Structure 1
Amino acid sequence: MGTGRGGLCRASRPHQHGRARRIPQAASRIQAAEADLSRPRAAQELQRQDPEDGAQPSHRAGRGEGRAVIAELAHHAGTIRFEKLSVAARERLLLCLLANLSVGVAGAKHVVVPEPAMSEGAYRLLSGRSAANARAAAFWNGAAMHARTQDDFHPVGNLHIGTVVIPALMAVADEAEMSGGDFLAALAAGYSVAVGLSRRFSPVTTPRGLRSTCLYAPFGAAVAVGVARSSPAQQLASAIALTTAVNAGTTQTWVDGSDEWQVHTALGAQNALLVNDLAAAGVRGAAHALDGPAGFYRAVVGQEVSFAEIAGDLDPSAAIEENVIKRYPVSGICQAVVLAAERAARQIDSANSVSRLRIEMNPFEMRYPGTLNRGPFHSFSDKLMSAAFCAASVVAHSGFRFEDFHSGAHAVRDRLTALAQVEESSLPLLSARVTIETAGGARIVGEVENSRDEVAIDWTSVDDWAAALWTEAGRTEREYAACRDAVRDLPESRCARLPV
């Protein structure tokens, strides 16, 4: 694996230490299972109780039922091997890695946080440059990978995982020699833990304004870094516990059109290194930081949680297979809106003839903060979440144009945005229906059910999509090909330094 900048491994070197009102969501979980994300999930979810149903202090968690959740997570993470994943999960993980690196390269010019000062340091940046500090590199790469919001996401956990875990692991791979198989095992552990901790509880925490990417993905990143560094189980447990001191963030950013959303992922990646460095230095985290009577879950969902309650959601293969690779740089929820709008827009002669624009969505997704934004718009961040803006932009331009999300007024698009009606429907997650009515009396419908399958980016279709992202960033197709080949060869590679 010697092709491309940064593709050669170097000698190992030390790393731098540089119950509130019940919110029922069971139906949403069942819809998510039926959306099909994983076939056995519907039956599993039907047997579950909502996290807040009858939530009472249950002093069992971590005490009367075996080891603390954190200790169990540390043990679980250490058992994950890339070769033990399902075939579909192994392929998906490699695709997610390549997709996230590609959107990160393309996102470099859209980062709002300052890039670390250029140096001859060991830590690679997605801009093609390098930094001298591991945490600074992880922070900036975490922002870059999320800057187009085109990084992969989990639709039930409502979170972005790769954009938090991968930048942290890149820094680990830059500081010490690591095989590709070890890198992928750590990455899989990160996905497993982030999904396992969020899948059941995001439907409760999200409506409160807590952003799942901030709450849950940092645990996955902390675990991934600890696994990559071969941390002892007790040290890894402390790193997980210490994450509760630094994982926070809200979804108000999507409503106000502000910039915290990039900072969320940047901090998640940076802090994964920080908590592991602290744990390695002997800083101890609470054994019951997740499951205790004053721990994380009691604080955010009003209930103590035992490991048995989340164990079924930690299957690494299912967590990875369910993840969605985005074709478009808009919210995961609006992927289906864009696809449905494209289908409808192809059937009209002129956007000027549109007299009605109706968008139907899954109720849970429709109520996600920002989805009902109608303007005035302030930035990319409140546009990319808006179902009305996404549909109007597609119809106005007869297709998706990323530049429209970074431009000012546009008469036709703005008229359609004001005209658009967003309504809830019995559609499952990742689905949308767009209906256009024209002044001439025509009625056109575009519909998408399960945009994850509609997008279906795989090894036969990824090249055109990903190479375009690299060239948009001013990089060459040869550079993309080197990265793609390195990712495909990673399971057998002795070196995890990917050329970016």
Structure 2
Amino acid sequence: MLEVTRELARFVSDLEFEDIPPEVIGRAKTLMHDFVGIGIRARHEADSTLAMMRATEILGADGGTCGVFGDSRWFSPAAAALMNGALGHSLDFDDTHAEASLHPSAVVIPAALAAAQLPGASGKDVITSIVAGYEVVCRLGQALGPDDHYERGYHPTATCGAFGAAVAASKVMGLSTEEIESALGIALSQASGTMQFIENGAWTMRYQVGNAAKNGLVAASFAREGFVGATHPIEGKYGFLNAYAPSPDAKEAVAAIGSVWETMNIAVKPYPGCRLAHSAVDAIIELRREYEFQADELDSVVIGLAGVAYDLTGAPEAQKRTPDNLVDAQFSMHFQAAIALQHGRIQWDDFSRLLRDEATAALMGKISVIRETDFGEDDWSKFRARVSIELQDGRQIVRQVDLPKGEFGNFLTNLELRAKFRSLVAPCIGQAGEIALYDLILNFENETVDDLFRRTMPAPDMLMAGED
């Protein structure tokens, strides 16, 4: 049996900041910028935030030593990890790893930051732990076979995320190889999360991701104190791979680890909403720019998606044409397409502004989404999209996009990344505060986590979620 758990634990234990290539360090900082910016905005505006914060207070989890994005208070480590993970996933604007089909930062960064505030770890320690978490969680997602995992109803970010979070927290805490193995064994008991939220747009999508970050922190903390976790939790007969997928490939979990950096394959989303809809959005924006048509000139729009993309964002069509809440809208190809057709872009503010908009609703009625069967069966086929638009003047225009913007081969420019961060953060902490926070993360190896959270605190006149 391939000793997957031992090999992953040894990699994490041995990893040093100086071992990580400069481009990987730079990408980790880019992903930190993106995730922290999303978390701040979600603390102020996400619809689930108020209930989550009130429940946390009732449970007595405030008054600790760990920070939460955009909040002026301090919380217990477990609560901070949970809330930061949930906040960072609340806008569905956080980064993705295509081949693993999950959101790495939403589980890795919150666990690393909470763990770092316990011993007061350095910025270098945190960056190293984040990269370690990325490398493990992405490889686990690939090893499962994400389509099979989805087919069973699991939410990969939440299930794989418990292990990525455990690794990140363990690295910050300085655990040995054996202790990291035990942390992974404890995480196995907590790997959970299903896609059932998609039926009614439930906030559990956000919660179970935050819960994975918290569970990873708990697993590392227990292991540090000598608590014994299951052996071979990844590759064992009843381990994660065999229990959670029908045909996993354990070799994928350790393939070229330490020489091929999966961190570089993590994509930054240019639009909020399900990543599998983004190639179609790219195609619409390109066509609109090229042919200069307006939404009122449209006769019909047909969007072809591959299997899993169609299942998540295209069907049932009656429901996708009438999203009832934010999560519904984020998983509606029709809604995202309607925004792009009207405005030639999609921004976070568009979702709440246009959810009940009559013109947007009418436009969704002109959009049909179909299942394409000729996109092939390679790892990238699920991202392909074909958009066919018929205009009222008789013109028919078609565009196929194979690789959505934000992926490694089509990454966002520095200007686009900077603009996304600014648009999320400046409304919450002001222009000067946004610049200071951006610069702090850019130089994070020489900074502290406490200073990071202080920089995210709201401007004095800024209202929080639920405040009048």
TM-score when scaled to structure 1?
0.80
Q: Of 463, 483, 497, which residue of structure 1 is paired with 2:418? A: 463
CA offset digits 1:301-351 (Å, max 9, x no partner): 245765x45321644753111100011111111222222222233435432
What amino acid does structure 2 have at the position aligned with 1:381?
Answer: V
Query: Is the counterpart of residue 210 in structure 1 residue 165 in structure 2?
Result: no
- Native 8 Å contact 1:357 1:416 kept in 2: no
SS at structure 1 position matched to 2:300:
strand
Overall identity of the aligned pairs, in %: 22
Worse-matched range after superposition: 441-450 or 452-461 = 452-461
Alignment of 1:263-302 (within 5 A): 263-302=207-246
Cα distance in 1 between the residues matched to 2:87 and 2:47: 5
Query: Is the counterpart of residue 140 in structure 1 residue 95 in structure 2?
Result: no
- Please, which runs of 5 or more residues in structure 2 have no aligned partner? 457-468
Q: 1:236 to 1:192 in 2, by over 3 A?
A: same
Paired position in structure 2 for 1:83: 18
Cα distance in 2 between the residues matched to 1:318 and 1:310: 13
SS at structure 2 position matched to 1:357:
strand
By how many angstroms is 1:455 displaced?
Answer: 6.1
Paired position in structure 1 for 2:357: 410
- The alignment yields a C-alpha RMSD, in angstroms, of 2.4
SS at structure 2 position matched to 1:137:
helix
Paired position in structure 2 for 1:419: 366
Query: Is the counterpart of residue 490 in structure 1 residue 444 in structure 2?
Result: yes
SS at structure 1 position matched to 2:180:
helix
Paired position in structure 2 for 1:177: 120
- Native 8 Å contact 1:373 1:385 kept in 2: no
Q: Of 439, 448, 467, which residue of structure 1 is paired with 2:401? A: 448
- Native 8 Å contact 1:243 1:271 kept in 2: yes
Paired position in structure 1 for 2:332: 386
By how many angstroms is 1:464 displaced?
Answer: 2.2
Paired position in structure 1 for 2:4: 69
Cα distance in 2 between the residues matched to 1:284 and 1:78: 18
Q: 1:304 to 1:145 in 2, by over 3 A?
A: closer
Paired position in structure 2 for 1:114: 52
- Native 8 Å contact 1:255 1:370 kept in 2: no
Worse-matched range after superposition: 225-234 or 199-208 = 199-208
Cα distance in 1 between the residues matched to 2:157 and 2:256: 17
Paired position in structure 2 for 1:224: 168
By how many angstroms is 1:227 displaced?
Answer: 0.7
Cα distance in 2 between the residues matched to 1:471 and 1:283: 44
SS at structure 2 position matched to 1:312:
coil
Q: 1:119 to 1:292 in 2, by over 3 A?
A: closer
Cα distance in 2 between the residues matched to 1:299 and 1:490: 39
Cα distance in 1 between the residues matched to 2:72 and 2:257: 36
Worse-matched range after superposition: 400-409 or 214-223 = 400-409
Alignment of 1:240-251 (within 5 A): 240-251=184-195
- Native 8 Å contact 1:293 1:304 kept in 2: no
Cα distance in 2 between the residues matched to 1:142 and 1:309: 26
Paired position in structure 1 for 2:386: 433
Q: 1:304 to 1:464 in 2, by over 3 A?
A: closer
- Native 8 Å contact 1:85 1:317 kept in 2: no
- Native 8 Å contact 1:327 1:455 kept in 2: no
- Native 8 Å contact 1:436 1:445 kept in 2: yes
- Native 8 Å contact 1:236 1:279 kept in 2: yes
Cα distance in 2 between the residues matched to 1:241 and 1:72: 14
Q: As a proportion of its length, which structure holds more helix?
A: 2
SS at structure 2 position matched to 1:437:
strand
Cα distance in 2 between the residues matched to 1:130 and 1:283: 31
Paired position in structure 2 for 1:127: 70
SS at structure 2 position matched to 1:359:
strand
By how many angstroms is 1:90 displaced?
Answer: 2.1
Alignment of 1:312-327 (within 5 A): 312=255, 314-315=257-258, 317-327=260-270
What amino acid does structure 1 have at the position aligned with 2:324?
Answer: H
Cα distance in 1 between the residues matched to 2:85 and 2:6: 27
SS at structure 2 position matched to 1:484:
helix
- Native 8 Å contact 1:352 1:412 kept in 2: no
Alignment of 1:341-420 (within 5 A): 341-346=284-289, 347-367=291-311, 369-374=312-317, 375=319, 376-406=322-352, 407-420=354-367
What amino acid does structure 1 have at the position aligned with 2:191?
Answer: N
- Please, which runs of 5 or more residues in structure 1 have no aligned partner? 1-60
Paired position in structure 1 for 2:463: none
What amino acid does structure 1 have at the position aligned with 2:418?
Answer: D
- Native 8 Å contact 1:186 1:227 kept in 2: yes
- Native 8 Å contact 1:119 1:132 kept in 2: yes
By how many angstroms is 1:450 displaced?
Answer: 1.5
Q: 1:361 to 1:302 in 2, by over 3 A?
A: closer
- Native 8 Å contact 2:62 2:76 kept in 1: no
- Native 8 Å contact 1:344 1:446 kept in 2: yes
TM-score when scaled to structure 2?
0.85
- Native 8 Å contact 1:138 1:269 kept in 2: yes
CA offset digits 1:267-321 (Å, max 9, x no partner): 0111111112222333211112222222222212245765x45321644753111
Q: 1:274 to 1:233 in 2, by over 3 A?
A: same
CA offset digits 1:118-143 (Å, max 9, x no partner): 96642111123222311111111111
Count of residue pairs brought into register by the alignment: 431
